[in-house]
Structure 1
Amino acid sequence: MLVLDQLTKSYGGRTVLARLSHTFKAGEFVAIMGESGVGKSTLLNLIAGLDTPDSGQVIVDGAPMAALDDDAATLLRRTRMGFIFQAFHVLPHLTLRQNVALPLLLNRRDAGRADEMLAAVGLGGRGADFPRQLSGGELQRVAIARALVHRPALLLADEPTGNLDPETAEGILHLLRQETRESGAGAIMVTHSHAAAAMADQVLLLTRSGLKLA
Structure 2
Amino acid sequence: MLELRHLSKSYAPGHPVLAGLSYRFDAGEFVAIMGDSGVGKSTLLNLIAGLDHPDPSAQPAILVDGVAMAALDDDAATRLRRQRMGFIFQAFHVLPHLTLLQNVALPLLLNGLPRQRAAEMLAAVGLAGREQSYPHELSGGEMQRVAIARALVHRPALVLADEPTGNLDPETAHAVLALLRTEIRASGACTIMVTHSEAAAAMADRTLILTRAGLQDASVVKRQRH
TM-score bucket of the superposed structures, by smaller chain: over 0.9
List runs of 5+ in structure 2 lacking aligned partners. Answer: 219-226
1:187 Cα deviation from its structure 2 partner: 0.8
Equivalent in the alignment of 1:3: 3
List runs of 5+ in structure 1 lacking aligned partners. Answer: none
Cα distance in 1 for partners of 2:176, 2:92 equals: 15
Equivalent in the alignment of 1:167: 171
| Counterparts of residues 136-175 of structure 1 (less than 5 Å) | 136-175=140-179
Contact map agreement 1:9 1:17 (CA 8 A) in 2: yes
Cα distance in 2 for partners of 1:57, 1:73 equals: 14
Cα distance in 2 for partners of 1:75, 1:207 equals: 32
Equivalent in the alignment of 1:95: 99
Equivalent in the alignment of 1:35: 36
User: Which segment drifts farther, 115-124 or 203-212?
Assistant: 115-124
Query: What SS does the corresponding residue of 1:72 show, helix, strand or coil?
Result: helix
Query: What SS does the corresponding residue of 1:211 show, helix, strand or coil?
Result: strand
Query: What SS does the corresponding residue of 1:177 show, helix, strand or coil?
Result: helix
Cα distance in 1 for partners of 2:105, 2:55 equals: 35
Structure 1 runs of 4+ aligned residues shifted over 4 Å read none
User: Which segment drifts farther, 56-65 or 170-179?
Assistant: 170-179
Equivalent in the alignment of 1:113: 117
1:76 Cα deviation from its structure 2 partner: 0.7
Cα distance in 2 for partners of 1:129, 1:36 equals: 37
Task: Show CA shifts across 1:71-91 (max 9, x none).
Answer: 111111111110112232222
Equivalent in the alignment of 1:25: 26
Cα distance in 1 for partners of 2:106, 2:79 equals: 14
Using structure 2 for the length normalisation, give the TM-score: 0.88
Contact map agreement 1:151 1:179 (CA 8 A) in 2: no
Query: What SS does the corresponding residue of 1:160 show, helix, strand or coil?
Result: coil
User: Which segment drifts farther, 76-85 or 192-201?
Assistant: 192-201
1:151 Cα deviation from its structure 2 partner: 1.5
Cα distance in 1 for partners of 2:169, 2:126 equals: 13
RMSD: 1.7
User: Which segment drifts farther, 157-166 or 29-38?
Assistant: 157-166
Paired amino acid for 1:164: L
Contact map agreement 2:5 2:21 (CA 8 A) in 1: yes
User: Which segment drifts farther, 47-56 or 8-17?
Assistant: 8-17
Task: Show CA shifts across 1:167-202 (max 9, x none).
Answer: 222222222222222222111111112122112222
Equivalent in the alignment of 2:221: none
1:125 Cα deviation from its structure 2 partner: 2.3
